[in-house]
Amino acid sequence: MKNVCIVLAAGVGKRMHSSLPKVMHPICGRPMVQYVIDAARGVSDKVIVVISEKIDKTVFSNVELVYQKVPLGTGDAVKQALTASCNIPDETPVLIVTGDNPLIKSSDLEELLAFYKDTKSGVALLTALSDNPIGFGRIVRCKTDFVKIVEEKDATEEEKKINEINTGIYVFAKKYLTDAINEITPNNLQKEYYLTDALTILKKKGVKVSVKKLKRKFPVYGVNNRKELSIATKIIQGEILDKLMLAGVTIINTDTICIDFDVKIENDVTILPGVLIQGKTTIGKDCVIGPNTRIVDSVIKNHVNVQYSVVRQANMGDNCKIGPFAYVRPDSKMSKNVKIGTFVEVKKSQFGENTKVPHLSYIGDTKVGKNVNIGAGTITCNYNGLQSKKKPTFIEEDVFIGSHNTLVAPVKIGKGAYTAAGSVITEEVPEDALAIGRAKQINKKEWAKRRKKSNG
């Protein structure tokens, strides 16, 4: 076994002021701990993640999960991991990282592991120089030699002036780690078992403890509050956008764009200002997205244009045009060359090729065939207010729906049929028929003239 990595992800994170566990706060559409796990997977044969019972285990895959039922500190969390994975050989390097440091990369961990090996250390830790070390454990040295790590709450005023901080990343030989963990006591203000005490214990036993400083400077060394979450998000978002642009995506104004980690975008796509693309959305070639558009968990094929619109959990074929100001709700599917136009809302509906809903309409729970034109102001009345289940509407191919129509579900419009403007359609319309569902117009001559006279 090359090495094992333990990810500490059971902390409460009180400074987040949230009911959501700290490591589960999202950065670009995924929990921050996932970035740490990715870094660990890049260097380790086996990744063990220590979590609390408040964390949803279904978000994790290809890792070994260990529960820390009572939050007794980092030392106890590591002990739980070692107890659950007792088959780790004694000489195996055990890499330990905190789950709240999403900016750490596999390359940083590789360098620490190489340093650990080259220095023939029993323990190696990763430190950094911070302009604002408040809240972090300080590295206490005697000249250049490591003495101990002191936590902020236990530090003296002189120790608080130290700007070399503990990143919470270590490599231990497994046998040394096991021995030291069993000797840690909660002799501190927090009454917790500090993993940092293991280094002091081992140093006193003559085990070589080496310190490696990070070559690069992080803006945050662990996310502890919402401000630091924002800083980390901005950096990771920048990395995502850089990768897309280098792969052939045009992004007009990166400061106004948010694209999640799992989004896939083909080349020659143009992203205009004010766009959010979230979840597991995929976008094909030669699309134009935006401005001011949000797309969530959707599949968008090639040559699609979406502007000033919201699209959620929908599927669009080639050459579709969406918006401006359209709302495409979940479970909607558009074939090729479909237009969902200005101020149109669609929900749980299917649209065949070359079908158009140009403006001012609501289409819900509807199956629409190809070559259909739906006139302005049309709505499908899919809910009667009495039953929770919505009623379907079926519009077959080559149908023309007149402006300001109300289609009262369940109802079917046959192939090639027309409906007159202003109609309320409550019954099936046969193929190639014209349906007129409106009151007969009556003109009362000179009525307005008489009314004006009566009002004097």
Q: Which of 305, 330, 355 is the last residue of a domain?
A: 330
pLDDT of residue 454: 86
pLDDT of residue 416: 98
Given a cut of 70, whether residue 456 has pLDDT beyond it is no
For the chain, the domain total comes to 3
For the four alpha carbons of 367, 315, 25 and 237, in that order, the dihedral sign comes to negative
- The answer to whether residues 302 and 262 belong to one domain is yes
Question: What CATH number has the domain bearing residue 416?
Answer: 2.160.10.10
Does residue 231 fall inside a structural domain?
A: no
pLDDT of residue 131: 87
In 38-111, beta strands by DSSP E:
46-51, 64-67, 93-98
Q: Which of 279, 307, 330 is the last residue of a domain?
A: 330
Does residue 242 fall inside a structural domain?
A: no
pLDDT class of 443 with cuts at 50, 70, 90: very high
- The answer to whether residues 50 and 195 belong to one domain is yes
Q: Which of 213, 236, 262 is the last residue of a domain?
A: 213
Does residue 384 fall inside a structural domain?
A: yes
- Quick: pLDDT tens for 158-196: 999 999 999 999 999 999 999 999 999 998 878 889 999
pLDDT class of 1 with cuts at 50, 70, 90: low
pLDDT of residue 262: 98
Give the pair of three-digit tokens for residue 87. 């088959």
Give the pair of three-digit tokens for residue 424. 């309320």
- The answer to whether residues 112 and 178 belong to one domain is yes
The DSSP-derived string for 199-254 is HHHHHHTT--EEEEE-SS--S-SS--SHHHHHHHHHHHHHHHHHHHHHTT-EES-G
- The answer to whether residues 75 and 192 belong to one domain is yes
- The answer to whether residues 112 and 204 belong to one domain is yes
pLDDT of residue 321: 98
Contact 263, 277 (CB under 8 A): yes
Active site residues: 359
Average pLDDT over residues 82-99: 91
Task: Assign 41 to helix, strand or coil.
Answer: helix
Task: Assign 25 to helix, strand or coil.
Answer: coil
**Domain membership of residue 92 as a residue range:** 4-213
Mean pLDDT of the chain: 95
Average pLDDT over residues 69-97: 92
Average pLDDT over residues 238-242: 98
pLDDT of residue 145: 87
Task: Assign 37 to helix, strand or coil.
Answer: helix
Does residue 225 fall inside a structural domain?
A: no
Using the structure block, give the residue that is written with the tokens 């490696």: 212
Contact 255, 237 (CB under 8 A): no
Stated length of the chain: 456
pLDDT of residue 134: 87
The one-letter amino acid code at 167 reads: T
Distance between CA 389 and CA 162 in Å, rounded?
Answer: 65
Average pLDDT over residues 373-390: 91
- The answer to whether residues 59 and 188 belong to one domain is yes
What residues contact residue 24 under an 8 Å CB cut-off, 6+ apart?
A: 31, 32, 33, 55, 56, 59
What residues contact residue 75 under an 8 Å CB cut-off, 6+ apart?
A: 181, 184, 192, 193, 194, 195, 197, 198
Does residue 424 fall inside a structural domain?
A: yes
Average pLDDT over residues 428-448: 95
Burial 324-354 (b: 16+ CB within 10 A, else e): bbbbbbeebbbbbbbbbbbbbbbbbbbbbbb
pLDDT of residue 65: 96
Q: Which 3-state string (H, E, C) describes 113-159?
A: HHHHHHCCCCEEEEEEECCCCCCCCEEEEECCEEEEEECHHHCCHHH
pLDDT of residue 278: 98
- The answer to whether residues 279 and 317 belong to one domain is yes
Given a cut of 80, whether residue 395 has pLDDT beyond it is yes
Angle at 160 between CA 159 and CA 163, to 5 degrees: 95
pLDDT class of 85 with cuts at 50, 70, 90: confident
Given a cut of 70, whether residue 217 has pLDDT beyond it is yes
pLDDT of residue 86: 76
Angle at 323 between CA 246 and CA 389, to 5 degrees: 115
- The answer to whether residues 33 and 171 belong to one domain is yes
Does residue 11 fall inside a structural domain?
A: yes
- The answer to whether residues 100 and 77 belong to one domain is yes
- Quick: pLDDT tens for 21-67: 999 999 999 999 999 999 999 999 999 999 999 999 999 999 999 99
pLDDT of residue 199: 94
Task: Assign 454 to helix, strand or coil.
Answer: helix
Does residue 221 fall inside a structural domain?
A: no
- The answer to whether residues 312 and 202 belong to one domain is no
Question: What CATH number has the domain bearing residue 57?
Answer: 3.90.550.10
- The answer to whether residues 357 and 323 belong to one domain is no
Average pLDDT over residues 132-144: 89
- The answer to whether residues 403 and 298 belong to one domain is no
pTM, rounded to two decimals: 0.92
Given a cut of 80, whether residue 273 has pLDDT beyond it is yes
What residues contact residue 23 under an 8 Å CB cut-off, 6+ apart?
A: 9, 11, 13, 31, 32, 33, 36, 51, 55, 99, 100
Does residue 227 fall inside a structural domain?
A: no
